[in-house]
């Protein structure tokens, strides 16, 4: 599973690597203490800012040294570690979610118990969350005063991003749950854990997840997913995107690759490496930066089999790279089926 850097607010220094804050969630700001990549000083500042913003949003995909999916639960002082803090006889009645995905899952399980949500655009733009208090603003730490004012009996956040907030809440006697999602299995585990905390049945939602994986075309073309251009980053199997491709039996050409990328689950590729892999299908993740047009300006681009055969597809960041919400996951899986159905 992934592990994020500590959630300390900061600003990105354009003279440092634009990768210094690559693993931020949608509503948190942090920096890496050690930088694996630095850019030449001749690069323009606007390049740093633009690329940093794109890469900062690799939320919920940065991985720690953990090698298997797990749900991490923070516990009050003196409590046994990794033990559920709520039971069916003591279910949570007022829950604050600090991530878009957990807010969506909780709303699906029992909307009456969700009292606080993150202030990310993904959540605020969804009318079903209208009237629910936002306890964060875009890319800022949670507002403790707002959380406390809601008098929650459970606060759910992301491991590595919200640890310090959770510690403060624990000191006030508020139960917390830290989550990590970078695989399908961890999504199911998270849903089951939240359902137990809410004393509700997870099976309808789990069954819905399975419909996303039904009727998968029997095609496994060599595929490369590109999430950024400078540097060229691609997810391997230790990421949400990589795991999702595996569910669709897609031959992810970056699956087994390891590199010096500061984000576990992603590898940095050179143009030569992309040419060597020469994928049959290329999936470009675009967040409105026109990344596909940028790749088209690279000399190697037109030499690729996927380009020659017109098998280059643009995907939304949410669903494929960052699970984001249940609806976004469903949209990504539907689009994958369409891509694989083509020959």
The DSSP annotation for 271-317 comes to: HHHHHHH--SEEEEEESSS-HHHHHHTSTTGGGSHHHHTT-EEEEEH
Which distant-in-sequence residues (6+ apart) come within 8 Å of 89 by Cβ?
none
The pLDDT of residue 135 is above 90: yes
The whole-angstrom separation of Cα 124 and Cα 118 is 8
Residue 158: enclosing H or E segment and its boundaries? strand 154-158
Q: Give the mean model confidence (pLDDT) for residues 62-72.
A: 34
Banded pLDDT at 77 (limits 50, 70, 90): very low
The DSSP annotation for 15-42 comes to: TS-GGGGTT--TT-----SS-S----TT
Query: What's the confidence (pLDDT) of residue 160?
Result: 83
Lowest-confidence region among 64-78, 216-230, 250-264 = 64-78
The pLDDT of residue 173 is above 50: yes
> Closest by alpha carbon to 182, among 97, 119, 245, 137?
245
Banded pLDDT at 234 (limits 50, 70, 90): very high
Per-residue model confidence as pLDDT tens digits over 267-302: 999 999 999 999 999 999 998 888 999 999 999 999
Query: What's the confidence (pLDDT) of residue 68?
Result: 32
Q: Give the mean model confidence (pLDDT) for residues 135-151.
A: 91
pLDDT over 90 percentage in the chain: 63
């Amino acid at each position: 599973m992934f592990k994020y850097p500590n959630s300390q607010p900061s600003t990105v220094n354009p003279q440092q690597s634009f990768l210094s804050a690559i693993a931020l969630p949608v509503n948190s700001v942090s920096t890496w203490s050690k930088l694996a990549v630095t850019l030449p000083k001749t690069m323009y500042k606007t390049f740093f800012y633009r690329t940093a913003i794109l890469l900062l949003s690799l939320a919920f995909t940065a991985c720690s040294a953990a090698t298997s999916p797990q749900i991490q639960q923070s516990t009050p002082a003196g409590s046994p570690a990794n033990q559920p803090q709520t039971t069916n006889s003591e279910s949570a009645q007022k829950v604050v979610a600090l991530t878009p995905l957990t807010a969506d899952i909780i709303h699906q399980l029992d909307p009456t118990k969700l009292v606080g949500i993150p202030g990310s655009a993904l959540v605020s733009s969804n009318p079903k969350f209208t009237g629910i208090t936002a306890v964060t603003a875009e890319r800022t730490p949670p507002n403790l005063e707002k959380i406390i004012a809601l008098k929650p009996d459970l606060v759910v956040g992301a491991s590595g991003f919200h640890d310090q907030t959770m510690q403060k809440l624990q000191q006030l006697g508020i139960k917390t749950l830290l989550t990590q999602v970078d695989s399908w299995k961890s999504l199911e585990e998270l849903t089951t854990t939240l359902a137990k905390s809410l004393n509700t049945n997870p099976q309808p939602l789990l069954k819905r997840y399975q419909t996303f994986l039904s009727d998968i075309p029997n095609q496994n073309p060599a595929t490369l997913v590109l999430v950024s251009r400078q540097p060229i980053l691609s997810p391997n199997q230790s990421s949400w995107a990589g795991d999702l491709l595996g569910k669709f039996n897609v031959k992810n050409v970056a699956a087994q690759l390891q590199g010096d990328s500061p984000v576990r689950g992603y590898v940095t590729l050179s143009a030569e490496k992309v040419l060597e892999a020469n994928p049959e299908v290329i999936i470009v993740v675009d967040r409105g930066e026109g990344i596909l047009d940028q790749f088209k300006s690279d000399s190697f681009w037109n030499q690729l089999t996927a380009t020659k055969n017109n098998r280059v597809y643009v995907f939304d960041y949410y669903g494929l790279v960052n699970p984001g919400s249940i609806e976004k996951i469903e949209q990504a899986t539907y689009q994958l089926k369409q891509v694989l159905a083509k020959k």
